[in-house]
Amino acid sequence: MSEAYILGIESSCDETAAAVVRSGEEVISSVVVSQIATHQPYSGVVPELASREHLRAIVPVVRRALADAGRDYAALDALAVTQGPGLAGALLVGISFAKALAYALEKPLIAVNHLEGHIHAVLLEERQKGNYELPFPLMTLVVSGGHTHLYLAEQNGPAWTYQMVGHTRDDAAGEAFDKVAKLLALGYPGGPVIDALAPHGRADAVKFSPAQIKHRQRGDESPAPRQPHFDFSYSGIKTAVVRYVETHALLPAIERRRQALAAFLTPQTGDVLALCDPPTLDLVASFQRAMVDDLAGKTLAAAREYGVSTLLISGGVAANRELRETFKRRAAQEGLPVYFPSRPLSTDNAAMIAAAAFPKFLAGDFAAAELSAEASLPLR
Ligand code: KG4
Ligand code: ZN
């Protein structure tokens, strides 16, 4: 069977999502319930609360995805679920539900790596546009709240193989956006709010020097020759923002903003903007510019080093407008095509999980009955 309707289920972090996708190329339905309101008071995801919210949402979200698709359970060919990486307790909710449903329906279950899901969000949308062939090899950057990973991807029949050629040594890029937003009392999650505020500030106002990572070179210590590596580090830039806040006496303004925003249930960009003075907006714009320059610079250096034909950028931070513009401009200068998911499919969703499951469905690569959550599942 070369056509398949797959129900995808995603619960690795703070979104409960379900989607029906046809043959990895057409989104029939996609439902995402976000827990932002639950985690907002803590300015970050609280794992226990995430698991509890997934338990509440999973049944209605899956039912809604089927209703929106106009299909019943019998019309599905397979189920797919995120195995990891992610929060163990959150992953287990999706996995337990998917296992029970697959067992009851006597349908195959496919385990999907969340990071491969982010990559397939791009492929899914390209296929929807009629583009079935991306030139290999590819350099893919998965950049989210939990990951900043660079993979060299090659095609091996319908399946892909991945070699990790860089990753963050400390904070993920999305985590840096979230932590800086928390520090400046701009709201949660930090990425979208900084994205919206940055155009109102001067990006060259504050100089941040991106972390220079020392890599061991070929022949150093290790007997095996090493491949070049392109690692990231974002804890330093967060500390630099802390220092800037202290030395430029921004703390009283931050405290006033924190108190003012506490009065809003869900503050909108305009509310936050009205509470930001020009020095804060300059700081935000400069922080975003430094993050984007570093991500684009290292990804393009890796692309040159490995001689790839295509760039693929995915994950929550790929929704960032300045990041997209910068990648498009700099990739064009190097004659490299660059692909992103649409903004809704950049952040966590289940359509990407159902799409990534399709090649595994064709290969008969189904999950064993013992399938369990793997919080640090690597992508290979
Ligand atoms: O992929 P995702 O939904 O969940 C994870 O797998 O982590 O990514 C969420 C992350 C958060 O850190 C959020 O602040 C960031 O992506 N993010 C953004 C934007 N939208 C979401 N960062 C920068 N600019 C954005 N527009
Ligand atoms: Zn994600």
Distance between CA atoms of 167 and 285, rounded to whole angstroms? Answer: 24
The finding on whether 189 has its CB within 6 A of some atom of ligand 1 is yes
Strand order across the 78-84 sheet = 26-34, 15-22, 5-10, 78-84, 109-113
The finding on whether 145 has its CB within 6 A of some atom of ligand 1 is yes
**Using CA positions, which residue lies closest to atom 3 of ligand 1?**
347
Q: Is the pLDDT of residue 96 over 70?
A: yes
For ligand 1, mutation pick of 43, 317, 320 (most atoms within 8 Å of CB): 317
Environment of ion ligand 2 (residues, CB < 5 A): 144, 348
**Using CA positions, which residue lies closest to atom 13 of ligand 1?**
191
Task: Encode pLDDT of 41-87 as tens digits.
Answer: 888 899 999 999 999 999 999 999 999 999 999 999 999 999 999 99
Q: Is the pLDDT of residue 248 over 80?
A: yes
Hey, how many other C-beta atoms are within 10 angstroms of the C-beta on 380?
11
Residue corresponding to tokens 């998965």: 142
Hey, how many other C-beta atoms are within 10 angstroms of the C-beta on 223?
5
3 state SS of 29: strand
Q: What pLDDT shows up at residue 309?
A: 97
Q: How confident is the model at residue 158 (pLDDT cuts 50, 70, 90)?
A: confident
Taking the domains of the chain in order of start, what are their residue ranges? 5-134+345-363, 148-336
Q: How confident is the model at residue 2 (pLDDT cuts 50, 70, 90)?
A: confident
pTM (2 decimals)? 0.93
Q: What pLDDT shows up at residue 227?
A: 75
Q: Which of 333, 337, 8, 7 is nearest to 140 (CA)?
A: 337
Q: What pLDDT shows up at residue 226?
A: 59
The finding on whether 279 has its CB within 6 A of some atom of ligand 1 is no
Q: What pLDDT shows up at residue 87?
A: 97
Q: What pLDDT shows up at residue 218?
A: 47
Phi, psi of 13 (to 5 degrees): -140, -110
3 state SS of 5: strand
Q: Is the pLDDT of residue 301 over 80?
A: yes
What topology is assigned to 5-134+345-363 in CATH? Nucleotidyltransferase; domain 5 (3.30.420)
Q: What pLDDT shows up at residue 160?
A: 87
Instruction: State the DSSP code for 170.
Output: S
The finding on whether 355 has its CB within 6 A of some atom of ligand 1 is no
Least confident window among 190-194, 248-252, 264-268:
264-268
Phi, psi of 347 (to 5 degrees): -85, 175
Written as six digits, the tokens of 370 are 């013992």
- The number of CA neighbours under 13 Å toward the Cβ of 92 is 9
The alpha carbon of 218 and the centre of ligand 1 are apart by a number of angstroms equal to: 35
The alpha carbon of 297 and the centre of ligand 2 are apart by a number of angstroms equal to: 22
For residues 301-330, average pLDDT: 97
The finding on whether 94 has its CB within 6 A of some atom of ligand 1 is no
Q: Is the pLDDT of residue 224 over 60?
A: no
Distance between CA atoms of 180 and 177, rounded to whole angstroms? Answer: 5
Q: Is the pLDDT of residue 230 over 70?
A: yes
Q: What pLDDT shows up at residue 209?
A: 77
Over pLDDT 70: what percentage of the chain?
Answer: 96
For residues 283-297, average pLDDT: 97
Q: Which of 107, 104, 92 is nearest to 371 (CA)?
A: 92
Task: Encode pLDDT of 257-278 as tens digits.
Answer: 999 998 888 889 999 999 999 9
Q: What pLDDT shows up at residue 198?
A: 98
Over pLDDT 90: what percentage of the chain?
Answer: 87
The alpha carbon of 104 and the centre of ligand 1 are apart by a number of angstroms equal to: 35
Fold match, 5-134+345-363 / 148-336: yes
> Which one is predicted more confidently, 135 or 222?
135
For residues 6-25, average pLDDT: 97
Q: What pLDDT shows up at residue 228?
A: 78
Task: Encode pLDDT of 15-24 as tens digits.
Answer: 999 999 999 9
Contacts of 252 (CB under 8 A, 6+ apart): none
Q: Where are the beta strands (DSSP E) in 11-158?
A: 15-22, 26-34, 78-84, 109-113, 138-143, 148-156
The finding on whether 85 has its CB within 6 A of some atom of ligand 1 is no
3 state SS of 206: coil
What topology is assigned to 148-336 in CATH? Nucleotidyltransferase; domain 5 (3.30.420)
Q: How confident is the model at residue 107 (pLDDT cuts 50, 70, 90)?
A: very high
The alpha carbon of 143 and the centre of ligand 2 are apart by a number of angstroms equal to: 8
CA distances in angstroms from 169 to 110, 148, 154, 182, listed in the order given: 31, 9, 25, 21
Q: What pLDDT shows up at residue 216?
A: 52
Q: What pLDDT shows up at residue 1?
A: 57
The DSSP secondary structure of 275-339, one letter per residue, reads T--HHHHHHHHHHHHHHHHHHHHHHHHHHHHHT-SEEEEESGGGG-HHHHHHHHHHHHHTT--EE
Q: Is the pLDDT of residue 307 over 50?
A: yes
The alpha carbon of 182 and the centre of ligand 2 are apart by a number of angstroms equal to: 20
Q: What pLDDT shows up at residue 215?
A: 63
